[in-house]
Structure 1
Amino acid sequence: MDDARTTAPPPSRPGRALLAAAAVVGLLHAAISAYWAAGGTWLLETLGERVLTTFDGRLWLLAPLVVVKAVAAVGPAWLDARRWPWRRVTRTLAWLAVVVLVGWGGANTVVGNLVLAGVVNDGGAIDRPAMIGHAWLWDPLFIVWGVLLACGLWRGRRAH
């Protein structure tokens, strides 16, 4: 006879699903960088002509960024599964990540859309594919990642 205590799944902690969703979004961001670092070209024009010229033949330099994104993506969910060791430090770092993700993503999304709408113009030509990539895809993805992380951290604040 099976003992229900050994076969039942562990109780879910508040925020766990949100942290997992944040990890998926962050890993998506890391995956496209890894794809480009490995020589992939799909959506590469969304990086911008200046970046592509500067790093021509050296996109492998994105590899450290891939590692940082992947650790930042998976880290909070991994720490939550271990009940936040060094709780004050690790949760503070996670909240700092929220500030960076939402702040950076939000500012660049707003500015990019203002440029695309013609509200902001420094007189020079804009790199439209790059501006669209940042305003409509990459930077909003940072916002989604940051908001999911914030919600997961908030929901799990008293769980441990």
Structure 2
Amino acid sequence: MRRARWGTIALWGAAVAGGIHGLFSLYWAVGGRWLLDTVGAWAVDLTERAQVLVVLLLLLVAAVKAAAAVIPLAVEAGRMPGRRRWRAVEWAGVALLVGYGGLTTIVAALVLLGAIEPDGGYDRASMIGHALLWDPLFLVWGVLLGIGLALTRDRAIPAGDGRDGDRPAGRAAGIQLRSD
């Protein structure tokens, strides 16, 4: 299988991971509570106290996560202008997702293992959620996005598209990898 094909598969995997994050934010925004305690007791308390504000915030978070999940696919398919700029933003997303997801997964795991003892204790359900679910999912999202970006970087780019001159060639145009 060609390198670019593996890259596209990785981008789809990243989109699934990001989509899961976004769907849970949407689910909580519309009143769902399953697994909310794994985010933290503060999240449960906040949703009970400031309902309208929390709904609006969670809808915004869901929209941002959904956009971050699908934009790399749209860019790679040639559906969005500004490929180079979007890929720079996507690489920044990789750094954020891998850095945050990796660090918080490790810290939460160390807390659960007793290697770190927070002053005042900790919320066990939240710590489990961060060590085993939400933060590793951020990490997987970032790793797959990084792999996808790395493996699709050599796509042929036509001279100009009338918008900003850096749109990738689409399937209809016959995607070709550079040989240099």
Q: TM-score range by the shorter chain?
A: 0.7 to 0.9
Are 1:47 and 2:39 counterparts? yes
1-side partners of 2:8 and 2:73: how far apart? Answer: 7
Aligned to 2:107: 111
Per-residue CA distance 1:103-148 (angstroms, 9 max, x = gap): 1101110110111111111331210000000111000000111111
The secondary structure found in structure 2 opposite 1:56 is helix
The one of 16, 21, 24 equivalent to 2:16 is: 24
Higher relative CO (CA 8 A, sep ≥ 6), structure 1 or 2?
A: 1
Aligned to 2:48: 56
* Residue 84 of structure 1: how far off its partner (Å): 6.4
> For the Cα contact (< 8 Å) 1:18–1:151, is it kept in 2?
yes
* Residue 41 of structure 1: how far off its partner (Å): 1.3
* Residue 90 of structure 1: how far off its partner (Å): 0.9
Say if 1:12 and 1:98 are closer, same or farther in 2 by CA, change over 3 A: closer
Unaligned runs of 5+ in 1: 1-10
The one of 12, 27, 33 equivalent to 2:25 is: 33
Aligned to 1:124: 120
TM-score normalised by the chain length of structure 1: 0.87
2-side partners of 1:63 and 1:74: how far apart? Answer: 17
The secondary structure found in structure 2 opposite 1:125 is coil
TM-score normalised by the chain length of structure 2: 0.78
Q: Percent identity?
A: 46
Aligned to 1:157: 153
Runs of 4+ displaced beyond 3 Å = 11-14
Unaligned runs of 5+ in 2: 157-180
* Residue 85 of structure 1: how far off its partner (Å): 3.1
**Cα RMSD, aligned residues only:** 1.8
* Residue 152 of structure 1: how far off its partner (Å): 0.4
> For the Cα contact (< 8 Å) 1:101–1:143, is it kept in 2?
yes
1-side partners of 2:144 and 2:41: how far apart? Answer: 31
Range 117-126 or range 54-63, more displaced: 54-63
Number of residue pairs matched by the alignment: 150
Which amino acid is the alignment partner of residue 69 of structure 2? A
